Amino acid sequence: MSKSLADVPVRPFTKPAGIVNATVDNKSGLLPGTYTPPEHMVTDLFAEGTVPTETDNLHQYMDICATTGDLPNDFCTDRITKVVVKLPYTVPSNVADFAIRAPQTTCTLHNAYGIDPEQAEKYQLSPPPDVDNPSTPTTNPDNGNGWLPPGTTGLNDASDDRNTIRRSANNRNRQ
């Protein structure tokens, strides 16, 4: 390309009349809002009069259950607040921006007793590693409480184990 154009003189591009530059939010197509992150802003050319006048309302600052990534219920004590994109429909997890979408469902893991073991399986929370004996698997597929160490039910005070689970899940959701 550069070879074939070597003899063609360089001319500066003059923007035609009636064309303007504007920066918009690339998720909503509206003007950037309070929570539009820089990576969701795009500057483009617009025909004069077609630049959006409304401000983005899809980016929202939201409370989320840190363990499950769902909307928090009254028993979710560990919460994170982050900017998410709230759209009125769900997308499968293989959609590129799935991780930044606002959750559509409320956490069912946390309840008045702490953690519901059945829900822990649904959320695919892995059991805490057996630090004293790493070669021994701590899960038992026939036991609904397999994600907990033997001898615990999930309803007793197993707060150390819960914290380990919570921490590993938090790291997953805090990206």
Q: Which residues bind Zn ion (CB under 5 A)?
A: 65, 68, 76, 107, 110
Positive or negative: CA dihedral 119, 122, 124, 128: positive
* Cβ-based nearer residue to Zn ion, 58 or 64: 64
Kindly state the DSSP code that residue 49 receives in the 8-state scheme: T
Q: What letters, b where the CB count within 10 A reaches 16 and e where it falls short, cover 69-89?
A: bbbbeeebeeeeebebbeeee
CB of 114 to Zn ion, least distance (A): 11
- Give ∠ CA 165-169-175 in degrees, rounded to 5: 155
Least distance between Zn ion and beta carbon 92 (Å)? 22
| 27 membership: H or E segment, kind and range | none
Residue closer to Zn ion (CB basis): 26 or 111: 111
Which residue's CB is nearer to Zn ion, number 58 or number 169? 169
Q: Measured from the CB of residue 66, what is the shortest distance to Zn ion in angstroms?
A: 8
Other C-beta atoms closer than 10 Å to the C-beta of 152 total: 14
**Shortest Cβ 76–Zn ion spacing (Å):** 3
CB-nearer residue toward Zn ion: 24 or 76: 76
CB nearer to Zn ion: give 24 or 65.
65
The whole-angstrom separation of Cα 127 and Cα 164 is 9
Q: How far is the CB of 107 from Zn ion (least distance, A)?
A: 3
